Amino acid sequence: MSDTSIIKAPIKEEMKRFEPYFKEQLKSKIPLLDIITNYILRRKGKQMRPMLVFLSAKLNGEISDASYISATLIELLHTATLIHDDVVDETYQRRGIFSINALWKSKVAVLVGDFFLSKGLSLSLNTDQIDVLKVVSEAVTEMSEGELLQIEKSRKLDITEAVYYEIIRKKTATLIAACTKAGALSVKANGEKLQNMAEFGSNLGIAFQIRDDLFDYEQNGLVGKPTGNDIKEKKLTLPLIHALHSTDSKQRRKILTLIRRHHKNEKKVQEIIAFVKANGGIEYANEQMQMYAQKAKDSLSAYKDSETKEALLTMVDYTLKRKK
């Protein structure tokens, strides 16, 4: 069996039921909104986050209506943040598919993102899922703080490793942790079990983001060389941060100057990538990714072996091996 088959096996029926359930929550009397919503539903990705909600719920009890509500809340939040991110970053394609702002302009995209957020709020209040709403609301707050912190630090180019982890914990890990915590909450898990699932999600999220950072330094099948997209946006990620702190002050100043003044120059970007590789940035980031992946797996050690536990462990491995 492939990794994806192992991950989906315990929740195959739940994921089939989830798609029409999620679509039902987005019905509107506004034709434009229905057109955009259908476009979004047609281009959905791997649905990693709803899967995490259902797997976490199943590991801790019997999947219930509350589990579907939790998965829907998370997916509404995630979709809204992606729409808003595309507007903020002026991104017109995501994985080869046109973004909402590319097709309907930024004003419409922001309003659609707001609609998704408000639908999540209404759903949680109408079904009395206040605990899950609290988890999701905290995630939204942290994600916003993480984005703003990264913008602030990118301007000054003074990101330390500690600040980097604070940024990715807020930007990425908090939403993954919300998935696993919300899933556990939906089946009335509490105490140590709830804490274990939150830690699993957080550590998985950190490993997930480091894997994303490493894509920047890997051969791209289309152009034959690393893209360096983060460098072009003046984002200091873990491989670069480690390399900068592993060299002398003169070289550090030189690289920071290249990032500050020449981050759009393809030749200079490739020079920065070569510097990162030569100064152990890739190896260090890989080691840290493996460490957080193991922490995620350790969070599940108290659970008995089962198909669901195996699915979650496989998801950790899949996160490390994925190509995009």
> Domains in the chain, start-ordered, CATH in brackets?
3-321 (1.10.600.10)
Which pair of tokens denotes residue 274?
């070569």
**CA distances to 94, 121, 128, 219, 298 from 66, in Å:** 31, 14, 10, 43, 27
Query: For every one of its 324 residues, what pLDDT tens digit does the chain have, with 9 covering 90 and above?
Result: 688 889 999 999 999 899 888 888 888 888 888 888 877 777 776 788 999 999 999 999 999 899 999 999 988 888 888 777 777 767 767 666 777 777 677 777 788 788 888 888 888 888 888 888 899 889 989 988 998 888 888 777 878 899 999 999 998 999 999 999 999 999 998 889 999 999 999 999 999 999 999 988 887 654 455 677 888 888 889 999 999 999 888 898 998 888 888 777 788 889 899 999 999 999 999 999 999 999 999 999 999 999 999 999 999 999 998 876
Phi first, then psi: give them for residue 98, nearest 5 degrees.
Answer: -60, 140
Residues near 48 by beta carbon (within 8 Å), at least 6 away in sequence: 315
